[in-house]
Amino acid sequence: MQIAVYGAGYLGTVVSACLADFGTPVTCYDEDTARVERLARGLISYHEKDLKEMIRRNVRAGRLTYSTTLATFAEKAEIIVLAEDAPRYALEAAEKIARVAPKDAILVIVAPVGVGTAAKIEQKLRAAGDQRPVVSHPLFLTNGCAVEDFNWPDRIVLGSPSQPAVLALKHLYRPLALRGVPVIVTSHETAELVRQASTAFVATKISFINELSSLCERVGADSADLALAMGLDKKIAPRCLQPGATLGGAFVEADMESLAHLAQCAGVPLKVLGAAREVSHSHSDRLVEKISQTLDSVMGKEIAILGLAFKPNTNSVAASSSMLLAKRLLSKGAHVRAYDPVAIPDARGELDSAVRCFDSAYDAAEGVDAIVVGTGWPEFRALDFDKLRRLVRRPLIVDTKNLLDANRLRAIGFQYVGMGRN
């Protein structure tokens, strides 16, 4: 089975490499010649666990090739995957593909498109006399563990009325089906809505535990124990139930905005989604308030933020609470210093030049009035806190992820402030 992937951005790069790793020949197309040349050498511009090695392995084996020639990239393909990162180009890309692809090749849409997009594409193709099957196939990939998410998904969702197309996709995903991964076959619209609704539900879960952590601080409860006890309930589950977390990544805000717009157009007020988004957007304000109360004021204070990526194991700063916190602190008159193991280059492009970035946590922390743990990088647990204690002006750690050992830090002499913890 020959596979062609349209788009060599983040999504297309992950999908093409993972499908090739199934042992399937894959050609990945992109019009950006420089990007394609880098990928052919196994070079990617972002931090994604295991992806670079996977690309190099499959390029060497001849299973993964890259092309900048639209006319020939899909000439032998049985399945063509539309993996554009920007959903607004999906219809245009589908029309381009239809002009050059075999008439019986299946078009699979994995781009993060809004509800109704696949139906529009199918309608457009039918009007042009193209009867190829179209499949809506949302992917649930998280920055930093996208390869793992692709290879060990919770479910595979296929939206299409075409039984032959569904059977072809089931055959493609047989390695996952043999592991017991369930396959859900449904309509285009349902498949598209599953991805947006899943994003919104996770955001709601995170916002709920963050609001409860504020309540914990008022009544003397411990949010970490609360989350643990709640998560052991099978109806709730522990994932995404950690106080201080926020939902980030390249497609998250677009998903929730698209879902909110769809509901508004349909006359359905999604009040829970609106409340969850409001809590999420106000999270950085709560952090600034917490830091301000501890320091009396952030005006003129030196504050080090450790971690700028929206989560560990990625350099993505999209919708990062740490980035928003840095901007909020600057607006309140604080002097902000920052360190992240991999995200500094991406962060520089979005942060005010007044934020000073450093190559180590120790350099960032020298002479500061507060250290803020903004991302839950595991390496922050292994820092030499005795050394940090000697470097800082004031021994204050605000742990927005409840990552560190509070008792140990207090024994060293730090004032430790967690989320929803006494």
pLDDT (tens digit per residue) in 295-308: 999 999 999 999 99
Task: With beta carbons less than 8 A apart as the criterion, state whether 137 and 185 touch.
Answer: no
State the fold for domain 3-186: Rossmann fold (3.40.50)
Residue 247 has pLDDT above 80, yes or no: no
Q: 13-22, 154-163, 236-245 — which is least confidently predicted?
A: 236-245
pLDDT of amino acid 67: 96
For the residues 165-170, what does the mean pLDDT come to?
98
Q: Say yes or no: do domains 3-186 and 283-417 share a fold.
A: yes
pTM: 0.91
| Cross-strand bridge partners of residue 373 | 306, 399
pLDDT of amino acid 242: 86
pLDDT (tens digit per residue) in 77-111: 999 999 999 888 999 999 999 999 999 999 999 99
pLDDT of amino acid 331: 95
pLDDT of amino acid 45: 87
pLDDT of amino acid 254: 85
Task: With beta carbons less than 8 A apart as the criterion, state whether 111 and 83 touch.
Answer: yes
Top CATH class, 195-281: mainly alpha
pLDDT of amino acid 283: 85
Residue 401 has pLDDT above 80, yes or no: yes
pLDDT (tens digit per residue) in 262-284: 999 999 999 999 999 888 888 88
In angstroms, the CA 162 to CA 328 distance is: 51
For the residues 163-173, what does the mean pLDDT come to?
97
Task: With beta carbons less than 8 A apart as the criterion, state whether 279 and 211 touch.
Answer: yes
| Neighbouring residues of 242: CB distance < 8 A, sequence distance ≥ 6 | 209, 227, 401, 402
- 327: confidence class by pLDDT, cuts 50, 70, 90: very high
Q: 46-50, 171-175, 283-287, 293-297 — which is least confidently predicted?
A: 283-287
Report the percentage of the chain scoring pLDDT > 70: 100
Residue 163 has pLDDT above 90, yes or no: yes
Q: Dihedral through CA 384, CA 311, CA 353, CA 358, nearest 10?
A: 20
In angstroms, the CA 330 to CA 287 distance is: 13
pLDDT of amino acid 234: 93
Residue 422 has pLDDT above 80, yes or no: no
For the residues 14-20, what does the mean pLDDT come to?
98
Q: State the average pLDDT for the chain.
A: 94
Q: 43-57, 239-253, 404-418 — which is least confidently predicted?
A: 239-253
Residue 393 has pLDDT above 90, yes or no: yes
First-to-final CA distance of the chain:
58
C-alpha closest to that of 139 among 11, 24, 40, 259? 11
pLDDT of amino acid 281: 81
Answer yes or no: CATH 3.40.50.720 is held by domain 283-417: yes
Domain boundaries, the chain: 3-186, 195-281, 283-417
Residue 148 neighbours by CB distance under 10 Å: 15
For the residues 150-159, what does the mean pLDDT come to?
97
pLDDT (tens digit per residue) in 373-388: 999 999 999 999 999 9
Q: 152 is written with which tokens?
A: 């060990």
pLDDT of amino acid 240: 87
C-alpha closest to that of 252 among 293, 213, 201? 201
pLDDT of amino acid 128: 94
